[in-house]
Amino acid sequence: MKTARLLLILIVLAAAGAAGGYVWFTRAVAAPGPLQTPVTVIIAPRSGVTAIAQQLTDTGVVAKPWMVMLEARRSKRDRALKPGEYRFEPGISLNAALGKIVRHDVVARFVTVPEGLVTAEIKAILTAAEGLTGAITAPIVDGDLMPETYRYEWGDSRDSIVARMRTAQEAALKVLWESRPEGFALAAPHDVVVLASIVEKETGIAAERPQVAAVFLNRLKRGMRLQSDPTVTYGLAPDGTFDRTLTFKDLEQPTPYNTYVIPALPPSPICHPGLAALAAVLNPAVSDDLYFVADGSGGHAFAPTLEDHNRNVARWRQIQRQNSLR
């Protein structure tokens, strides 16, 4: 009888100890952790719970790896931990750290591709973007991609960003082309991209894009040469390395892109134009202008006649002379 009573007491004490240990453990994994300063941890693909637990301990996110493994298995999250780049804030609890990894609450990275770049320049930006993986193997032609800021995660491939840029360009062009005005001057979406690339290189002022587009469309309707300097530089250096002032000799070079020589659009885009330039071509300003020249303020002076244009050119040259004397 005494033995049975002693055994019962031991069982009760063991149960109480287990319950106390369980309560302590659940409180410990929910309590603020030891991390003192923010830290970023990259969990590699195919990392198991043991490796992740050690990584979180080594980086100071948690105190003991066994606690991570026990909590992950107790809560049935040991097979739901996902690779990626995670940022942990000071004092984060073990439970919250595991939750972040299960939710795949990763660091958001961004890469910005400005409008008006050529393919070689975009490749250089993507190659330098930290966290992207792999070489760019997808073929790219100038005008294929939509310049924009793209979100990505550590471990995403460079080819995946290129694919997203291509999809964005195709989708935007499709919508714009389907809403083109009746009697639109250009015959195909490809021509829109070509002209938009020229508009993109001619002005960086948003309000001017529809005006510049109108000038070029008006010239095409009249059978006039576009006479766009950026097309000349592209014909001489398609990789975007042209870095000097154009000369009169350059304007006479018979490349397929020299719109001082060819009486039409160039055969392909001279850069990757942005959405605003595409929209400007399909929604040009209502204008009779056929000419434009720099006005000295960073913008351009527009003119419907050669006489007006010559006056604007004379004004611009006077500004240049005054600036050279300063």
The full set of domains in the chain, from first to last, is 28-103 (3.30.1490.480), 109-168 (no CATH), 183-324 (no CATH)
Residue linked to tokens 């720099």: 294
Residue 319: band (very low, low, confident or very high) from pLDDT cuts 50, 70, 90? confident
- The enclosing H or E element of 61 equals none
Confidence band of 12 (pLDDT split at 50, 70, 90): very low
What is the predicted pLDDT for the residue at 207? Answer: 93
- Confidence (pLDDT) at 325: 72
Q: How many CB atoms lie within 10 A of CB 218?
A: 18
pLDDT band for 9, please (50, 70, 90 cuts): very low
Higher pLDDT, 248 or 22: 248
- pTM for the predicted model, two decimal places: 0.85
Average pLDDT over residues 246-262: 93
Which pLDDT belongs to residue 70?
Answer: 93
What is the chain's mean pLDDT, rounded?
A: 91
More confidently predicted of 5 and 48 = 48
Mean pLDDT of the region 118-132: 97
Residue 108 has pLDDT above 60, yes or no: yes
- pLDDT band at 116; cut points 50, 70, 90: very high
Q: Which of 189, 201, 191, 174 is nearest to 272 (CA)?
A: 201
Residues 6 or more apart in contact with residue 11 via CB below 8 angstroms: none
In this structure, which long-range contacts are made by residues 175-178, counting pairs with CB atoms below 8 Å and at least 24 apart in sequence?
176/278, 176/279, 176/282, 177/282
Quick one: tokens of 51?
Answer: 């490796």
Would you say residue 95 has pLDDT above 60? yes
Sequence-separated (6 or more) residues with CB below 8 Å from residue 77: 71, 98, 102
Q: Please give the angle made by the CA atoms of 246, 252 and 253, to the nearest 5 degrees.
A: 85
